[in-house]
Structure 1
Amino acid sequence: MEEIVEKLRPVVVDILEGFGLELFDMSFTKQRGKWTLKIVIDDPNGYVSIRQCEQVSNEVGKYLDLHEDLIPTSYILEVSSPGLDRPLRGPKDYKRFAGRLAKFWLSEGKVVTGHIGELSEDELKVNTDQGEVVLKLSQIKKARLEVEF
């Protein structure tokens, strides 16, 4: 069913651009016996609101209603945000969320948690409880924001 996602991706991106939003992720999978079209949206200027999710859901729903042959089975449309503990996807996100608490999983198995600091071309400074740690971008396997209380 990956072809459904690939056909819909440009349409969804176009709808999102109309709202000043970006596509974070999109999938069409079977969950608990039901097909779900999941669209995860992002707001480059801040956090995604419930209202924004609702607007996107309405617009995508209208498009799918007009093109009902695109998805040949019944499905659930789900529009959401990446969440407070969102994955970070490289330098663009490190820059955007500078100063925020994040967790980094490194290729050698080490995990570093700290506040995102200065970003250079190939390194990221992270301010941990033990002091500043410099990470090579190439050694960051995955990263996500942490909820700070």
Structure 2
Amino acid sequence: MLPEPPLRATNPVEERVIALIEPTASGLGFRIVRVRVSGNRRKRLQIMAERVSDGEMGIDDCSRLSRALSPVFDLEDPIPGGEYDLEVSSPGIDRPLIRVEDFERFIGHEAKVETAAMIDNRRRWKGVITAVSGDAFTLVGDHGEATLQVSALSDARLVLTDKLIAEDLKRAKAAEAAADENTDEGKTP
């Protein structure tokens, strides 16, 4: 198993939040995608999460995770210096790519990535994810082919394309059909 990349948190406060919430989230079947703290006077704590089982995150999931995390934050306030607004959300369709598994899941899709240091005289790359091996992934774009390490990234996210939207709609319809099927099985004639 590869270590978690630094993309989930950008500072010690965010790292502390992840350490506090990960056991609760994991116990509910969620994976923390990313944590961000923003704002000056009134802070905003944004937690992106997804279900471990299928990578999805619905509104009910967000509410359930938010309710479960509130007591954790009541016991140990993670944000120094006052009040904050808690926002629990899905990663979204043009989601950040954080783990090697994210790159594997989205092979064939376009991504924009930025490296922490210059590689081949550049830091920004855009192209289609074509392969993943170990900690490395390959992007093919206007720059040609580039193989980069996930651990070398400072930012990475999917690019919103028609193909990505179509696959997301297909996945949503399949999930809805499965939910309907489960509801039908629970009914008595």
Partners of 1:36 and 1:77 within 8 A in 2: yes
- The TM-score with structure 1 as length reference comes to 0.71
- Once the two structures are superposed, the pairs formed by residues 3-82 of structure 1 within 5 Å of their partners are 6=16, 8-29=17-38, 31=39, 33-44=41-52, 45-65=54-74, 67=75, 73-82=82-91
Residue 12 of structure 1: CA displacement? 1.0
Structure 1 residue corresponding to 2:147, chosen from 107, 117, 136: 136
Residue 77 of structure 1: CA displacement? 1.3
Letter in 1 for 2:33: F
Q: After the TM superposition, which of the residue ranges 14-23 and 105-114 deviates more from structure 2?
A: 105-114
Structure 2 residue corresponding to 1:103, chosen from 106, 112, 125: 112
Match in the other structure for 2:185: none
Question: Aligned pair count?
Answer: 144
Greater fraction helix: 2
Residue 55 of structure 1: CA displacement? 0.6
Distance 1:75 1:86 in 2: 24
* Structure 1 residue ranges without an equivalent (≥5): none
Partners of 1:123 and 1:135 within 8 A in 2: no
Residue 90 of structure 1: CA displacement? 5.1
Distance 1:25 1:70, change over 3 A: closer
Match in the other structure for 1:145: 158
Cα RMSD (Å): 3.4
Whether 1:85 and 2:94 are equivalent positions in the alignment is yes
Greater fraction strand: 1
Match in the other structure for 2:4: none
- Percent identity among equivalent residues? 26
Distance 1:80 1:109 in 2: 32
